[in-house]
Amino acid sequence: MTLPDMSTQRIAGLARANAILTARNRLTFIYAVILPLLPLGLLIVGDNKSAGAGANAVITALLMAALFPVYANLLSQFVTRRDELVLKRLRTGESTDADIIVSLALPGLVVALATSALVVPIAVALGQHSPLNPLLYALTVLVTLLLFVAFACCTAAWTRNAEAAQLTSMPVIVLVILGQVATAFPANVRHWTDLTPGAAITDLVRVSWFGFKTGSADRTLALSDTWAAAGQPLLILTAWAVLATILARRSMRWEPRS
């Protein structure tokens, strides 16, 4: 993989084709565009005034945006195009490997970034505080999306075909869900589940947007405290992103398994 060797012209052209393909497949489109927006409905129904409920809705929206338009979409596009020999064909041209991956991920990344941004005015309009540390929130979103691009590439490497993706994607989905539901687990279990990317993302959103201390649902952190409180989860999330990127680069496959 030659990462620095990218061209915006090539990426734009390929991403445009990928966006057309995503829009043309109704199921892909629903998963990629509609699904991430659904959790925002949690803000409208039920106990929507409490900060705890707000945090849950925002975190779920962000995780859905990472899982569906980015992770699942990139995984399925990568495997389908690989099976169709589209990737091999592209690699005979001027496109670099980096062009191909970025252009496959780009339409989903745009949707995920838009969701992460849209969630701010929607949450505020529905009575939530605006993010306490917007920069940290934005950083959380960026590292999260990068991580899920790398996760998708790793998963694609050991996914035999498009059908198999339903099973091969389970470990990543478990890593995400485990971290989010673990807030209800006893402390000695949480000690371990905190190491999952899902938990790191959950903590980072709670700290950066809502100013929650660990285990609390009250805005107790000051802006100046948020960076220190975010240190460990940010480190964990970054470590996952680095690990997944290294794994992806080592295991990348561009042709169907024979």
Partner 1 sequence: MSTLSADHVDIEVRDLRRVYGTGEKAFEAVRGIDLVVDAGTIVALLGTNGAGKTSALEVVEGLARPTAGQVRVLGMDPVTDRAEVRRRTGVLLQTSGFPADLTVAETLRMWASTMTSTRPDADVLAELDLGGRADVRVRSLSGGELRRLDLACTLLGDPEVVLLDEPTTGLDPQSRRRVWDLIAALRDRGRSVLLTTHYLEEAEELADRVAIMHAGRIVREGTPAQLGADQASTIRFQGAAALVGLNDLPGAITVATHSGTTTVHTHDLQRTLHALLGQAAQCDVRLSNLEARNASLESVFLAIASGNSDPDGSPSSVEGATR
CB of 103 to partner 1, least distance (A): 9
CA–CA separation, 217 and 225 (whole Å): 16
CA–CA separation, 135 and 65 (whole Å): 19
Binding residue (CB under 8 A) for partner 1 from 33, 81, 123, 179? 81
The piece of 13-21, 124-132, 150-158, 218-226 that touches partner 1 (CB under 8 A) is 13-21
21 near partner 1, rule: CB under 8 A: yes
The piece of 48-56, 62-70, 91-99, 132-140 that touches partner 1 (CB under 8 A) is 91-99
Q: List the one residue out of 226, 242, 43 whose CA is nearest residue 137.
A: 226
The piece of 18-26, 134-142, 154-162, 191-199 that touches partner 1 (CB under 8 A) is 18-26
* Ordered alpha helix ranges (H), the chain: 8-24, 26-29, 41-44, 51-65, 73-83, 86-91, 97-125, 134-157, 165-168, 170-181, 187-193, 197-208, 223-251
Which residues are 219's β-sheet partners?
212
CB of 15 to partner 1, least distance (A): 9
Binding residue (CB under 8 A) for partner 1 from 44, 46, 47, 88? 88
Looking up tokens 């990127």 gives 245
CA–CA separation, 127 and 87 (whole Å): 47
Instruction: Pick the closer one to partner 1 by CB: 95 or 155.
Output: 95
93 near partner 1, rule: CB under 8 A: yes
CB of 96 to partner 1, least distance (A): 8
Instruction: Pick the closer one to partner 1 by CB: 18 or 116.
Output: 18
Quote the crossing angle between the two packed helices 134-157 and 170-181, to the nearest 10°.
150
16 near partner 1, rule: CB under 8 A: yes
* C-beta separation of 91 from 98 below 8 A: no
163 near partner 1, rule: CB under 8 A: no
CB of 166 to partner 1, least distance (A): 21
CB of 13 to partner 1, least distance (A): 2
Binding residue (CB under 8 A) for partner 1 from 17, 124, 181, 222? 17
Measured on CA atoms in the order 157, 163, 168, 174, is the torsion positive or negative? positive
Instruction: Pick the closer one to partner 1 by CB: 59 or 104.
Output: 104
CA–CA separation, 62 and 87 (whole Å): 29
The piece of 35-43, 83-91, 158-166, 190-198 that touches partner 1 (CB under 8 A) is 83-91
CA–CA separation, 215 and 217 (whole Å): 7
Q: Which residues bind partner 1 (CB under 8 A)?
A: 5, 9-10, 12-14, 16-17, 20-21, 24-25, 81, 84-95, 99
